């Protein structure tokens, strides 16, 4: 999503990563990979649990979850993978974002 971040912003959306790392670990990873979007650290798994993204032994770590939540808090798109690499393509997510009726704050 980093490569298409500006397209997401132009579509009136914000990308937000939720990670189960400490602030220091996340800061280092985001800096190393040049990720332009904000990050929330959730080492206690509160957000993961809220959205039903549980860790499984078979997933070799934290399962991936991708959600589109509109301004009213309604989940408009949800995907939870079984393995870390199982996430939708950026174009699919961007298309889902564009399909959500909203007014862009100006």
Q: What is the pLDDT of residues 41-88, one digit of tens each?
A: 888 888 888 888 876 554 456 666 777 777 787 777 777 776 666 777
Its pTM stands at: 0.68
Would you say residue 32 has pLDDT above 90?
A: yes
pLDDT at 31: 92
pLDDT at 43: 85
Q: How far apart are CA 35 and CA 61, in angstroms?
A: 21
DSSP string, 47-82: HHHHTT---BGGGTBPPPEEEEE-TTS-EEEEEE-S
pLDDT at 28: 92
Q: Tokens at residue 69, please?
A: 């939540």
Which domains does the chain carry? 5-97 (3.40.30.10)
DSSP state for residue 86 in the 8-state scheme: -
pLDDT at 42: 86
């Amino acid at each position: 999503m980093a490569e298409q971040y500006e397209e997401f912003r132009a579509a009136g959306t914000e990308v937000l990563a939720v990670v189960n790392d400490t602030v220091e670990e996340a800061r280092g990873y985001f800096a190393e990979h040049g990720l332009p979007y904000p990050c929330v650290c959730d080492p206690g798994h509160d957000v993961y649990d809220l959205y039903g993204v549980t860790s499984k032994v078979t997933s070799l770590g934290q399962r991936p979850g991708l959600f589109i939540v509109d301004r009213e808090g309604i989940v408009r798109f949800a995907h939870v993978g079984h393995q870390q690499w199982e996430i939708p393509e950026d174009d699919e997510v961007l298309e889902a974002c564009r399909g959500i009726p909203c007014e862009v704050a100006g």
